[in-house]
Amino acid sequence: MFNRLTLLFCTIFLLLTACGSSKGSGNPTSNDSTDGRAEFGGRRGIPAEGSSQDKLGSLMIGHAGDYKLPQGTVKTPDLEDIDIDSDASRSKPEIRQAVEARMPSLRRIYSDYLKEKSNISGKIIFKFTIVSSGEIIDISVISSTTGFPEFEKEIQRKIATWKWKAIEGGNTTVTIPFNFIE
């Protein structure tokens, strides 16, 4: 235990030392940065804002500081945005409720794509048919503004796996938009 703790502190010390900026002497208490602030140490031992120690320290204590982690929002469609065929066996509220319960799977995919391509956003409109057994058939992209066909295909594959409650009755064809907001 002692060896791991010692190694951790040595690693942190080396990282802090190595992250010194080209401004200043690297001495944490020196006050020779160009803007008159201490590169590290500042007031009450707080690193100068924007310094490499400030950024590293923010990451080490769990704050993102200047670094933005990729995360996005997938807006749950409103009832009026959902279109169903006139002889549908399922209602719009039922469809919306089921979609809302499955939104975390789409958010995960979106978040994973944002890690690699941070500029993905837009609306994808899907059309699919839910058969009485609860499976989805004939799913297709009606329109998309994301500009990333591979992302659209991944979302389409996920939606195609959704299982719905089996019902007595016929099929329901749904047209539904998903808004991906960065």
CATH code (residue 121): 3.30.2420
| CA distance between the termini of the chain | 43
The answer to whether residue 115 sits within a structural domain is yes
Q: In this model, does residue 56 exceed pLDDT 70?
A: no
The residue written with tokens 């941070």 in the block is 118
177 plus 91 within the same structural domain: yes
Is the pTM for the entire model greater than 0.85?
no
Residue 72: pLDDT band with limits 50, 70, 90: confident
Q: Is 65 left (phi over 0), alpha (psi -120 to 50) or beta?
A: left
> Same domain for 49 and 81?
no
Q: Do residues 35 and 42 make contact, with C-beta atoms less than 8 angstroms apart? A: no
Q: Which of 170, 176, 134 is nearest to 155 (CA)?
A: 176
Pick from 16-25, 65-74, 112-121, 149-158: least confident: 16-25
**What domain count does the chain have?**
2
pLDDT of 142 reads 97
Is the pLDDT higher at 41 or at 119? 119
* pLDDT score recorded for residue 148: 95
Confidence of residue 34 (pLDDT cuts 50, 70, 90): very low
